[in-house]
Structure 1
């Protein structure tokens, strides 16, 4: 399974916010810290805000911050939200895809169980579980 860059950037942004002593970050600062495009990051932050993972504050002195404490944000929950139930194969699409094996394939249920196990495993951990001194030093270091 491969995560989209969208999800990757979302998880990275959450880790920086969780590992920071700062109350909030501007999208410009956060994009520079992560080495990614601000325009792409803004889309990711909007999705995270819609899911209730971050708060975005507009105007002078605005920025982005965690909407909940890091120990209340489950990794599987975040990833499922960011991936937006991305399909693993054709047969997982809402329209059933164009797989000629649909209807008699024994692979799909196994893939579904593996997908569920993947998210269940990630849900055993929170953002707080991913914080460590090296991450905190990276977050604190000047860009």
Structure 2
């Protein structure tokens, strides 16, 4: 299975926010860190907010932050929210013209493979992906609280 660009960037947004705890981030700075267009990132942000992964704070000095602890956001949840389809083959969609569609073992094998994939993702959290915060800060240009105060 190949994840969409939307899912890839959704995970990146969550990683950025997890690497920047206790501080509101602006979507523009997140987009800049990943060299992505801000309107594209805004589109991706909406399902993350709806799912409760991200909170928005309006007004002057507002921004975005994780809606729950990074250790409580597993990758399976993110993928299930951001992927539009888990169709691995035409017969997953129904309406297939294949004469074997109702008795084919391929369908069962693909369903098992998909479940194994999602199950594996469920064992990892955003916190697991952001353990090396100093590297993330340097790479993404995130100021540490001490740098921001200076």
TM-score range, shorter chain: 0.7 to 0.9
Change (3 A) 1:34 1:106: same
Q: Is the 8 A contact 1:24 1:63 kept in 2?
A: yes
Residue 116 (structure 2) pairs with residue 117 (structure 1) = yes
Q: Is the 8 A contact 2:20 2:142 kept in 1?
A: no
- Residues of 2 paired with 1:107 and 1:57: CA distance? 47
Q: Is the 8 A contact 1:90 1:99 kept in 2?
A: no
1:125 is paired with a residue whose SS is coil
Q: Is the 8 A contact 1:20 1:139 kept in 2?
A: no
Residue 99 (structure 2) pairs with residue 98 (structure 1) = no
Query: Runs of 5+ in structure 2 lacking a partner?
Result: 144-150
TM-score by length of 2: 0.84
- Residues of 1 paired with 2:22 and 2:31: CA distance? 15
RMSD, aligned CA: 1.8
Give 1:79-94 correspondences, 5 Å limit: 79-93=79-93
TM-score by length of 1: 0.88
Change (3 A) 1:34 1:103: same
- Correspondence for 1:78: 78
Q: Is the 8 A contact 2:136 2:142 kept in 1?
A: no
- Residues of 2 paired with 1:88 and 1:116: CA distance? 12
Larger radius of gyration, structure 1 or 2?
Answer: 2
Give 1:1-143 correspondences, 5 Å limit: 1-21=1-21, 23-93=23-93, 96-100=94-98, 101-131=100-130, 132=132, 133-141=134-142
- Residues of 1 paired with 2:80 and 2:111: CA distance? 14
- Residues of 2 paired with 1:99 and 1:62: CA distance? 53
- Residues of 1 paired with 2:138 and 2:22: CA distance? 13
Alpha-carbon shift at residue 114 of structure 1 (Å):
0.8
1:64 is paired with a residue whose SS is strand
Query: Runs of 5+ in structure 1 lacking a partner?
Result: none
Paired positions, count? 140
Change (3 A) 1:68 1:106: same
1:13 is paired with a residue whose SS is helix
